[in-house]
Protein backbone atom coordinates (compact mmCIF):
# COMPACT_ATOMS: atom_id res chain seq x y z
CA UNK A 1 0.00 0.00 0.00
CA UNK A 2 2.88 2.38 0.86
CA UNK A 3 4.46 1.74 -2.56
CA UNK A 4 1.12 2.57 -4.18
CA UNK A 5 0.93 5.98 -2.45
CA UNK A 6 4.49 6.87 -3.43
CA UNK A 7 4.24 5.51 -6.98
CA UNK A 8 5.56 7.98 -9.57
CA UNK A 9 3.33 6.43 -12.23
CA UNK A 10 0.21 6.98 -10.14
CA UNK A 11 1.05 10.55 -9.02
CA UNK A 12 0.06 12.35 -12.27
CA UNK A 13 -3.34 10.64 -12.28
CA UNK A 14 -3.94 11.65 -8.65
CA UNK A 15 -3.25 15.30 -9.47
CA UNK A 16 -5.54 15.41 -12.53
CA UNK A 17 -8.31 13.35 -10.88
CA UNK A 18 -10.14 16.37 -9.32
CA UNK A 19 -10.08 18.18 -12.68
CA UNK A 20 -11.40 15.13 -14.54
CA UNK A 21 -14.22 14.68 -12.02
CA UNK A 22 -15.12 18.38 -12.26
CA UNK A 23 -15.27 18.25 -16.06
CA UNK A 24 -17.37 15.07 -16.03
CA UNK A 25 -19.84 16.31 -13.41
CA UNK A 26 -20.21 19.96 -14.43
CA UNK A 27 -19.56 19.86 -18.20
CA UNK A 28 -19.83 16.47 -19.91
CA UNK A 29 -22.84 15.22 -17.92
CA UNK A 30 -24.95 18.41 -18.35
CA UNK A 31 -24.17 18.57 -22.07
CA UNK A 32 -25.06 14.90 -22.52
CA UNK A 33 -28.30 15.40 -20.59
CA UNK A 34 -29.07 18.53 -22.63
CA UNK A 35 -28.57 16.64 -25.90
CA UNK A 36 -30.99 13.93 -24.76
CA UNK A 37 -33.60 16.46 -23.63
CA UNK A 38 -33.35 18.31 -26.96
CA UNK A 39 -34.89 15.25 -28.63
CA UNK A 40 -37.83 15.18 -26.22
CA UNK A 41 -41.01 17.00 -25.32
CA UNK A 42 -40.34 17.15 -21.60
CA UNK A 43 -43.82 18.29 -20.56
CA UNK A 44 -45.49 15.41 -22.40
CA UNK A 45 -42.64 13.05 -21.53
CA UNK A 46 -42.24 11.72 -25.03
CA UNK A 47 -39.50 11.36 -27.65
CA UNK A 48 -39.92 13.77 -30.60
CA UNK A 49 -36.68 13.16 -32.48
CA UNK A 50 -35.48 16.13 -34.53
CA UNK A 51 -38.77 18.05 -34.23
CA UNK A 52 -37.26 20.67 -31.89
CA UNK A 53 -34.43 21.32 -34.33
CA UNK A 54 -36.82 21.43 -37.30
CA UNK A 55 -38.89 24.00 -35.43
CA UNK A 56 -35.79 26.16 -34.96
CA UNK A 57 -35.32 26.38 -38.74
CA UNK A 58 -38.66 28.20 -39.10
CA UNK A 59 -38.49 30.22 -35.87
CA UNK A 60 -37.98 33.87 -36.88
CA UNK A 61 -37.57 35.04 -33.27
CA UNK A 62 -34.75 32.53 -32.77
CA UNK A 63 -32.91 33.84 -35.82
CA UNK A 64 -33.40 37.40 -34.61
CA UNK A 65 -31.91 36.42 -31.23
CA UNK A 66 -28.95 34.81 -33.00
CA UNK A 67 -28.42 37.93 -35.13
CA UNK A 68 -28.61 40.19 -32.04
CA UNK A 69 -26.02 38.07 -30.23
CA UNK A 70 -23.63 37.92 -33.19
CA UNK A 71 -23.95 41.66 -33.78
CA UNK A 72 -23.26 42.33 -30.11
CA UNK A 73 -20.27 39.96 -30.12
CA UNK A 74 -18.73 41.64 -33.20
CA UNK A 75 -19.20 45.08 -31.66
CA UNK A 76 -17.51 44.06 -28.41
CA UNK A 77 -14.60 42.50 -30.31
CA UNK A 78 -14.07 45.72 -32.29
CA UNK A 79 -14.12 47.86 -29.15
CA UNK A 80 -12.80 45.66 -26.36
CA UNK A 81 -9.56 44.43 -27.92
CA UNK A 82 -7.76 47.35 -29.66
CA UNK A 83 -8.68 50.06 -27.13
CA UNK A 84 -7.75 48.11 -23.96
CA UNK A 85 -4.49 47.13 -25.71
CA UNK A 86 -3.78 50.80 -26.41
CA UNK A 87 -4.62 51.85 -22.84
CA UNK A 88 -2.48 49.03 -21.44
CA UNK A 89 0.45 50.24 -23.56
CA UNK A 90 0.04 53.74 -22.17
CA UNK A 91 -0.21 52.45 -18.57
CA UNK A 92 2.91 50.34 -19.11
CA UNK A 93 4.93 53.48 -19.79
CA UNK A 94 7.30 54.09 -16.87
CA UNK A 95 7.05 57.84 -17.45
CA UNK A 96 3.33 57.81 -16.56
CA UNK A 97 2.65 58.97 -13.03
CA UNK A 98 -0.22 57.51 -11.02
CA UNK A 99 -0.50 54.34 -13.14
CA UNK A 100 -1.81 52.40 -10.14
CA UNK A 101 -4.62 54.91 -9.66
CA UNK A 102 -5.70 54.61 -13.29
CA UNK A 103 -5.60 50.79 -13.09
CA UNK A 104 -7.95 50.89 -10.09
CA UNK A 105 -10.33 53.32 -11.80
CA UNK A 106 -10.49 51.21 -14.97
CA UNK A 107 -11.05 47.96 -13.05
CA UNK A 108 -13.66 49.34 -10.64
CA UNK A 109 -16.68 48.73 -12.97
CA UNK A 110 -15.81 45.01 -13.11
CA UNK A 111 -16.37 44.85 -9.35
CA UNK A 112 -19.81 46.43 -9.71
CA UNK A 113 -22.79 44.10 -9.93
CA UNK A 114 -24.32 43.75 -13.40
CA UNK A 115 -27.70 44.33 -11.75
CA UNK A 116 -26.57 47.68 -10.38
CA UNK A 117 -24.76 48.65 -13.59
CA UNK A 118 -27.70 47.66 -15.78
CA UNK A 119 -30.15 49.61 -13.60
CA UNK A 120 -27.98 52.74 -13.75
CA UNK A 121 -27.67 52.49 -17.54
CA UNK A 122 -31.43 52.00 -17.85
CA UNK A 123 -31.93 55.29 -16.03
CA UNK A 124 -29.22 56.99 -18.11
CA UNK A 125 -30.99 55.90 -21.32
CA UNK A 126 -34.48 56.70 -20.05
CA UNK A 127 -37.17 58.35 -22.20
CA UNK A 128 -37.47 61.37 -19.94
CA UNK A 129 -35.89 64.62 -21.02
CA UNK A 130 -34.11 64.58 -17.66
CA UNK A 131 -32.24 61.31 -18.37
CA UNK A 132 -28.50 61.76 -18.81
CA UNK A 133 -28.20 61.04 -22.52
CA UNK A 134 -31.30 63.04 -23.42
CA UNK A 135 -29.78 65.97 -21.54
CA UNK A 136 -26.54 65.49 -23.50
CA UNK A 137 -28.27 65.57 -26.90
CA UNK A 138 -30.54 68.35 -25.63
CA UNK A 139 -27.42 70.46 -25.12
CA UNK A 140 -26.90 70.22 -28.90
CA UNK A 141 -30.50 71.16 -29.62
CA UNK A 142 -31.83 67.64 -30.22
CA UNK A 143 -35.20 66.36 -29.03
CA UNK A 144 -35.37 63.54 -26.42
CA UNK A 145 -34.97 60.03 -27.83
CA UNK A 146 -36.60 56.78 -26.76
CA UNK A 147 -33.23 55.06 -26.59
CA UNK A 148 -34.42 51.59 -25.60
CA UNK A 149 -37.15 51.38 -28.24
CA UNK A 150 -34.93 51.59 -31.30
CA UNK A 151 -32.64 48.81 -32.57
CA UNK A 152 -29.62 51.05 -33.25
CA UNK A 153 -29.86 53.05 -30.02
CA UNK A 154 -30.34 49.85 -28.01
CA UNK A 155 -27.25 48.40 -29.66
CA UNK A 156 -25.33 51.54 -28.70
CA UNK A 157 -26.52 51.27 -25.08
CA UNK A 158 -25.51 47.59 -24.82
CA UNK A 159 -22.06 48.25 -26.30
CA UNK A 160 -21.51 51.21 -23.99
CA UNK A 161 -22.46 49.05 -21.00
CA UNK A 162 -20.06 46.32 -22.16
CA UNK A 163 -17.22 48.82 -22.63
CA UNK A 164 -17.84 50.38 -19.23
CA UNK A 165 -17.79 47.01 -17.52
CA UNK A 166 -15.03 45.06 -19.33
CA UNK A 167 -12.49 47.57 -20.60
CA UNK A 168 -10.59 47.52 -17.30
CA UNK A 169 -10.46 43.72 -17.20
CA UNK A 170 -9.00 43.50 -20.70
CA UNK A 171 -6.52 46.26 -19.87
CA UNK A 172 -5.17 44.13 -17.02
CA UNK A 173 -4.83 41.12 -19.34
CA UNK A 174 -2.85 43.11 -21.88
CA UNK A 175 -0.85 44.85 -19.18
CA UNK A 176 0.21 41.48 -17.76
CA UNK A 177 1.27 40.42 -21.26
CA UNK A 178 3.25 43.62 -21.83
CA UNK A 179 5.06 43.30 -18.52
CA UNK A 180 6.32 39.86 -19.57
CA UNK A 181 8.11 41.38 -22.56
CA UNK A 182 11.76 42.11 -21.85
CA UNK A 183 12.61 45.83 -21.78
CA UNK A 184 15.90 44.96 -23.48
CA UNK A 185 14.01 44.52 -26.74
CA UNK A 186 12.60 48.03 -26.59
CA UNK A 187 15.96 49.50 -25.60
CA UNK A 188 17.70 47.77 -28.51
CA UNK A 189 15.00 48.94 -30.93
CA UNK A 190 15.29 52.49 -29.58
CA UNK A 191 19.07 52.47 -30.10
CA UNK A 192 18.47 51.33 -33.69
CA UNK A 193 16.25 54.36 -34.21
CA UNK A 194 12.81 52.68 -34.06
CA UNK A 195 9.93 54.99 -33.18
CA UNK A 196 7.37 54.17 -30.47
CA UNK A 197 4.87 53.12 -33.13
CA UNK A 198 7.44 50.83 -34.78
CA UNK A 199 8.30 49.31 -31.39
CA UNK A 200 4.63 48.68 -30.71
CA UNK A 201 4.03 47.17 -34.17
CA UNK A 202 7.18 45.06 -34.38
CA UNK A 203 7.66 44.04 -30.74
CA UNK A 204 4.52 44.49 -28.64
CA UNK A 205 1.93 43.20 -31.10
CA UNK A 206 3.73 39.94 -32.04
CA UNK A 207 4.69 39.11 -28.46
CA UNK A 208 1.19 39.92 -27.22
CA UNK A 209 -0.33 37.32 -29.53
CA UNK A 210 -0.99 34.67 -26.79
CA UNK A 211 -2.74 37.29 -24.65
CA UNK A 212 -4.69 38.61 -27.64
CA UNK A 213 -5.86 35.12 -28.60
CA UNK A 214 -6.98 34.48 -25.02
CA UNK A 215 -8.88 37.79 -24.79
CA UNK A 216 -10.42 37.13 -28.21
CA UNK A 217 -11.57 33.66 -27.14
CA UNK A 218 -13.22 34.75 -23.89
CA UNK A 219 -14.72 37.81 -25.62
CA UNK A 220 -16.40 35.61 -28.24
CA UNK A 221 -17.89 33.45 -25.51
CA UNK A 222 -18.96 36.46 -23.44
CA UNK A 223 -20.52 38.18 -26.45
CA UNK A 224 -22.58 35.19 -27.53
CA UNK A 225 -23.64 34.31 -23.96
CA UNK A 226 -24.72 37.82 -22.96
CA UNK A 227 -28.04 37.81 -21.10
CA UNK A 228 -28.07 39.64 -17.78
CA UNK A 229 -26.99 43.01 -19.23
CA UNK A 230 -29.89 43.03 -21.68
CA UNK A 231 -32.31 41.78 -19.03
CA UNK A 232 -31.40 44.56 -16.61
CA UNK A 233 -31.43 47.22 -19.32
CA UNK A 234 -35.02 46.32 -20.25
CA UNK A 235 -36.10 45.39 -16.71
CA UNK A 236 -36.94 41.90 -17.89
CA UNK A 237 -36.47 39.47 -20.77
CA UNK A 238 -38.93 41.29 -23.03
CA UNK A 239 -37.95 44.19 -25.29
CA UNK A 240 -39.85 46.06 -28.04
CA UNK A 241 -39.86 43.86 -31.16
CA UNK A 242 -37.21 41.69 -29.44
CA UNK A 243 -34.49 44.25 -30.21
CA UNK A 244 -32.62 43.25 -27.05
CA UNK A 245 -33.28 39.51 -27.18
CA UNK A 246 -30.18 37.29 -27.21
CA UNK A 247 -29.73 33.55 -27.72
CA UNK A 248 -29.45 32.94 -23.98
CA UNK A 249 -32.44 35.20 -23.41
CA UNK A 250 -34.45 33.14 -25.89
CA UNK A 251 -33.27 29.94 -24.21
CA UNK A 252 -34.45 31.35 -20.86
CA UNK A 253 -37.79 32.38 -22.38
CA UNK A 254 -38.46 28.91 -23.75
CA UNK A 255 -37.08 26.86 -20.87
CA UNK A 256 -38.11 28.87 -17.81
CA UNK A 257 -40.94 31.18 -18.88
CA UNK A 258 -42.72 28.78 -21.26
CA UNK A 259 -41.37 25.55 -19.69
CA UNK A 260 -40.57 24.09 -23.12
CA UNK A 261 -37.43 22.48 -21.76
CA UNK A 262 -36.78 20.23 -24.75
CA UNK A 263 -36.94 23.14 -27.18
CA UNK A 264 -34.76 25.25 -24.87
CA UNK A 265 -32.14 22.48 -24.80
CA UNK A 266 -32.12 22.45 -28.61
CA UNK A 267 -31.44 26.22 -28.53
CA UNK A 268 -28.64 25.60 -26.02
CA UNK A 269 -27.02 22.93 -28.18
CA UNK A 270 -27.12 25.23 -31.22
CA UNK A 271 -25.53 27.98 -29.09
CA UNK A 272 -22.77 25.58 -28.03
CA UNK A 273 -22.12 24.63 -31.67
CA UNK A 274 -21.99 28.30 -32.75
CA UNK A 275 -19.55 29.21 -29.96
CA UNK A 276 -17.33 26.22 -30.71
CA UNK A 277 -17.33 26.91 -34.48
CA UNK A 278 -16.50 30.61 -34.10
CA UNK A 279 -13.73 29.94 -31.57
CA UNK A 280 -12.20 27.08 -33.58
CA UNK A 281 -12.27 29.31 -36.67
CA UNK A 282 -10.52 32.19 -34.91
CA UNK A 283 -7.95 29.85 -33.35
CA UNK A 284 -7.30 28.45 -36.82
CA UNK A 285 -6.96 31.92 -38.35
CA UNK A 286 -4.63 33.13 -35.59
CA UNK A 287 -2.36 30.12 -36.12
CA UNK A 288 -2.91 28.68 -32.65
CA UNK A 289 -3.27 25.14 -34.01
CA UNK A 290 -0.06 25.32 -36.04
CA UNK A 291 2.79 23.17 -34.80
CA UNK A 292 5.93 25.02 -33.87
CA UNK A 293 8.90 24.32 -36.11
CA UNK A 294 11.77 22.62 -34.33
Span 224-279, pLDDT tens digits = 999 999 999 998 888 999 999 999 999 999 998 988 899 999 999 999 999 999 98
First CA to last CA distance, the chain: 43
CATH code (residue 75): 1.10.3720.10
Asked whether residue 189 is assigned to any structural domain, the reply reads: yes
Q: Does residue 4 have a pLDDT over 70?
A: no
Q: Does residue 7 have a pLDDT over 80?
A: no
Q: Residues 146, 9: one domain?
A: no
Point out which residues pair with 41 in neighbouring strands. Answer: 46
Asked whether residue 47 is assigned to any structural domain, the reply reads: no
Count the domains in the chain.
Answer: 2
Span 127-151, pLDDT tens digits = 888 899 999 999 888 898 999 999 9
Average pLDDT value over all residues in the chain: 88
Asked whether residue 59 is assigned to any structural domain, the reply reads: yes
Q: Residues 113, 195: one domain?
A: yes
Those residues whose C-beta lies under 8 Å from the C-beta of residue 60, and which sit 6 or more positions away, are: none
Q: Residues 19, 60: one domain?
A: no
Q: Residues 31, 73: one domain?
A: no
Do the Cβ atoms of 282 and 220 come closer than 8 Å? Answer: yes
pTM summary value: 0.87
Q: Residues 26, 91: one domain?
A: no
Q: Residues 101, 210: one domain?
A: yes
Asked whether residue 46 is assigned to any structural domain, the reply reads: no
pLDDT value, residue 196: 85
Asked whether residue 291 is assigned to any structural domain, the reply reads: no
Asked whether residue 44 is assigned to any structural domain, the reply reads: no
- Is the pLDDT higher at 134 or at 45? 134
In angstroms, the CA 152 to CA 245 distance is 14
Do the Cβ atoms of 261 and 42 come closer than 8 Å? Answer: yes
Q: Residues 87, 29: one domain?
A: no
Asked whether residue 290 is assigned to any structural domain, the reply reads: no
Q: Residues 30, 159: one domain?
A: no
Q: Residues 25, 97: one domain?
A: no
Helix (H) / strand (E) element for 128: namely none
In angstroms, the CA 158 to CA 229 distance is 7
Of 171, 162, 168, nearest to 75 by C-alpha is 162
Q: Does residue 2 have a pLDDT over 70?
A: no
Q: Does residue 108 have a pLDDT over 70?
A: yes
pLDDT value, residue 6: 65
Residue ranges making up the domain that contains 91: 53-285
In angstroms, the CA 263 to CA 209 distance is 39
Q: Residues 172, 26: one domain?
A: no
Please count the CA atoms within 13 angstroms of the CA of 223 that sit on its side-chain side: 29
Q: Which of 21-25, 121-125, 156-160 has the lowest mean pLDDT?
A: 21-25
Q: Residues 5, 110: one domain?
A: no
Please name the residue ranges forming H helices in the chain.
2-5, 11-23, 29-37, 51-57, 60-80, 82-91, 99-111, 114-124, 132-139, 151-179, 183-191, 196-199, 205-207, 209-224, 228-233, 247-252, 261-285
Helix (H, G, I), strand (E, B) or coil at 105: helix
In angstroms, the CA 63 to CA 55 distance is 12
Q: Residues 6, 59: one domain?
A: no
Asked whether residue 178 is assigned to any structural domain, the reply reads: yes
Amino acid sequence: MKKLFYSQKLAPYVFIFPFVITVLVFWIAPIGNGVLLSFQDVLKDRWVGFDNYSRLLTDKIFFKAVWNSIKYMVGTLILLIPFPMLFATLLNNKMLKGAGFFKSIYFLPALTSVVVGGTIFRLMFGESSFSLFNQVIGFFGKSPIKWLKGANTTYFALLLLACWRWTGVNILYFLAGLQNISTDLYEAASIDGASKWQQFRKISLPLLKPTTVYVLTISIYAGLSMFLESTMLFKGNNSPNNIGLTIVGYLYRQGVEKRAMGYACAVGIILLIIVMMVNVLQLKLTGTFKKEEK
